[in-house]
Structure 1
Amino acid sequence: MNKRQARLFAIASTLVASVALLGLTLDSHRQFGKLTNADKITPQVTRGKDVWHKNNCINCHTLFGEGAYYAPDLTKITKLRGANYLTAYLRDPSKFYDEARHRRLMPRQDLSEGDIGDLIAFLDWVSNVDNQNWPPRPILVTGATFPGTDQAGAQAGAPPAARPAGGGDDPIALGERVFRSATPACAACHSIAPGVNMAGPSLAGLAGRTAQLFAAGGYRGKAADLAGYIRESVREPSAHLVPGPMYSADGVSFMPTTYAKDLTPQQIDQLAAYLSSLK
């Protein structure tokens, strides 16, 4: 290729790339309304955006990966935590995490109830934007991950007793899949590592703790055994409340109530089999 041919090739390549970029840009703008659910931008959502900026939330958190990386990304936070949890958390973050132990530095913003509701509405709108499943992993508020995590999200570094063996039709292995793939994923709020409490308590040693709960007479639900207790907790999270201000408020559990309709009875049985195996 001589100089003239190289020059023509460069010019043609630039033109083709420019046309492609222009076409993709126009196509993106054509779809923005649908992808961002623009018709769901209510006055409350707009006010919530103003609360977000006024309190400089972006100085610590990210949305769509943009912002500071000091605290977790909040793109899908309403789907992972729910409005009840977020309301209580925003009222007083110190009730959820001990700064000396968890190194949680979220300041108390003294937001009004109206501001809290508006901010949650804004974050809920954000969570429904079609952003190609970003962020790619569940939010883990504390250090609950382990080395060796594979693509399926299985905690390969978790204690051996917490890792189910087998595959195929094994209900324990199928239950672990439900634990990691339900919407929202159970693993986004519960760890299977001893002592690692996130938005929900650690599920390590659940069998032993449940036996102690039944024996102590503090259980308030209707289950008669461990599997029944797990099924009840999934279907009716408020049937028995685990003590602690970070797990419930005003007699209502922060755990989502949607699993009863989103999971089949078979999936709940598989989940019970897996969680029962966490000795």
Structure 2
Amino acid sequence: MNKRQTRLFAIVATGISAAVFLLLTFDSHRKFDALTNAESITPAVVHGKDVWHKNNCINCHTIFGEGAYYAPDLTKITKLRGETYLKAYLKDPSKFYDEQRHRRLMPKQDLSDEDIAGLIAFFDWVSNVDNQGWPPRPILVTGSTLPGADRSAAQQADDAKIERGGIAAPPGARPLSGNEDPIALGERVFRTATPACTACHSTAPGVNMAGPSLAGVKGRTEALLGSADYKGQAKDVAAYLHESIVSPSAHLVPGPMYSADGTSFMPTTYAKDLTAEQIDQLVAYLMSMK
């Protein structure tokens, strides 16, 4: 190219780049209200945002990947834990974590009921923002997973053995025939329901998270049903597990981490979000944990 051609190329390229940038900027602003769920910004949400900033929560936690990365990302916390759990947790975090065992302790902020309600409303608004998978690898609450999170090849291969059952398949999962073992199908539901059971429950013995470990749940349930401590309506293990999924407050597992004021922290949404077949598959999987 000669000097004139070079100058012309630079001018045209700069003009095209500027036009593309302005077009993308305009398109982003056009979609902001829909992407951010702006119509749901209520006075309670605004108050919760102010509580978030006033208490410097960002010094430890992150939202949309923005923060200190010392404590869990809270972008989807209302979907992983639920309002009942968060209310009890924010009132007195010391009931949920032990500084000696966990090497950290969420400080008690002495928040008012109004502040707690606002903070939960703010978290709920954040959880419904279309963040398009950002951050790609957040620091999550113990044991939880989010759709789109990186998965190892071994995990993907394992997932490929499990029927979809109406729930979106993870990356790398192959189509299956639908003739798989109900226990395998139930394991898939266990890991991919919303929120995933793995967000609160471990299958390792003695590893209690937001919910008790499910290792050996069948044997423990048999002992519970034979005692005077059981307060629900189930007559056998399968019925108890079904009851625990669709009506978690029918019987409360002892412990401040699992319930408050007679209400279980277990989500009450599975009865409508899962099909009857999926619940039966989940029960079959839990029944296998002898």
Q: Return the TM-score normalized by structure 2.
A: 0.84
Once the two structures are superposed, what CA deviation does each residue of 1:162-200 show, in whole Å capped at 9, x if it has no partner? xxxxx8421111111111121111111111122222211
2:284 aligns with one of 266, 269, 273:
273
Aligned match of 1:20: 20
Mapped pair 1:100 → 2:100: yes
**Counterpart of 2:46 in structure 1: which amino acid?**
T
User: Equivalents in 2 of 1:261, 1:54: separation in Å?
Assistant: 37
Secondary structure at the counterpart of residue 217 of structure 1: coil
Decide whether the 8 Å contact of 1:78 with 1:127 is kept in 2.
yes
- Give aligned-pair identity as a percent: 73
Decide whether the 8 Å contact of 1:60 with 1:71 is kept in 2.
yes
CA-atom RMSD in angstroms:
2.6
**Counterpart of 1:48 in structure 2: which amino acid?**
G
Mapping for residues 69-218 of structure 1, pairs under 5 Å: 69-134=69-134, 140-142=140-142, 150-151=155-156, 168-218=179-229
**Counterpart of 1:176 in structure 2: which amino acid?**
E
Once the two structures are superposed, what CA deviation does each residue of 1:147-167 show, in whole Å capped at 9, x if it has no partner? 98624886xxxxxxxxxxxx8
1:237 aligns with one of 245, 248, 252:
248
Distance change in 2, residues 1:34/1:191 (3 Å):
same
Aligned match of 1:160: none
Mapping for residues 9-88 of structure 1, pairs under 5 Å: 9-88=9-88
User: Equivalents in 2 of 1:135, 1:189: separation in Å?
Assistant: 21
Q: CA deviation at 1:136?
A: 5.5
Aligned match of 1:158: none
**Counterpart of 2:128 in structure 1: which amino acid?**
N
Decide whether the 8 Å contact of 2:210 with 2:258 is kept in 1.
yes
Secondary structure at the counterpart of residue 202 of structure 2: coil
User: Equivalents in 2 of 1:37, 1:274: separation in Å?
Assistant: 37
Distance change in 2, residues 1:258/1:250 (3 Å):
same
Decide whether the 8 Å contact of 1:90 with 1:108 is kept in 2.
yes
**Counterpart of 2:212 in structure 1: which amino acid?**
P
Distance change in 2, residues 1:41/1:47 (3 Å):
same
Secondary structure at the counterpart of residue 150 of structure 1: helix
Which residues of structure 1 form unaligned runs of 5+?
155-166
